[in-house]
Amino acid sequence: DAGVIQSPRHEVTEMGQEVTLRCKPISGHDYLFWYRQTMMRGLELLIYFNNNVPIDDSGMPEDRFSAKMPNASFSTLKIQPSEPRDSAVYFCASSLSDTGYTFGSGTRLTVV
């Protein structure tokens, strides 16, 4: 397996634009997580899915953020409109229940 695949690796966008981050989890994993990492706040859980169903989105900062998982092999995190304070590294991870997570390489987002 190629692991968790995220795209793009880097994204630079202007404030106010829509940004879509993509994730392909490991086949067979039934949990998918979106995290955001900054120097100030570390790794923060944004939302997670179990069997494609959103379970907890309490970490989503505000209505500008949305996430979908239309099937077991694909998830998106969308920010609309983007703001400079959204600049961070966004990680997707997948796992089986009660096991370690496998993280993707992350998407470094810069909003100017």
- Which of 26, 60, 69, 91 is close enough to bind other proteins by CB under 8 A? 91
Strands across the sheet with 5-7, in order?
A: 5-7, 19-24, 74-79, 65-71
The verdict on 31 binding other proteins (CB under 8 A) reads yes
Q: Of these, 19, 23, 93, 111, which contacts other proteins (CB under 8 A)?
A: 93
Distances (CA, A) of 34 to 14, 111, 112: 22, 19, 22
3-state secondary structure of 52: coil
Q: How far apart are CA 17 and CA 2, in angstroms?
A: 31
**Smallest distance from other proteins to CB 77, Å:** 15
What's the chain's Rg over C-alpha atoms? 13
CA dist 36 and 27 (Å) reads 23
Among 48, 65, 77, 86, binds other proteins (CB under 8 A): 48
Query: Nearer to other proteins by C-beta: 8 or 16?
Result: 8
Is residue 56 involved in binding other proteins (CB under 8 A)? yes
**Binder among 19, 104, 109, 111 for other proteins (CB under 8 A):** 104
Measure the CA–CA gap between 99 and 62, rounded to whole angstroms: 29
Under the criterion CB under 8 A, does residue 34 sit at the interface with other proteins? no
Q: Which residues bind other proteins (CB under 8 A)?
A: 4, 31, 33, 35, 42-43, 45, 48, 50, 55-56, 91, 93, 95, 97-106
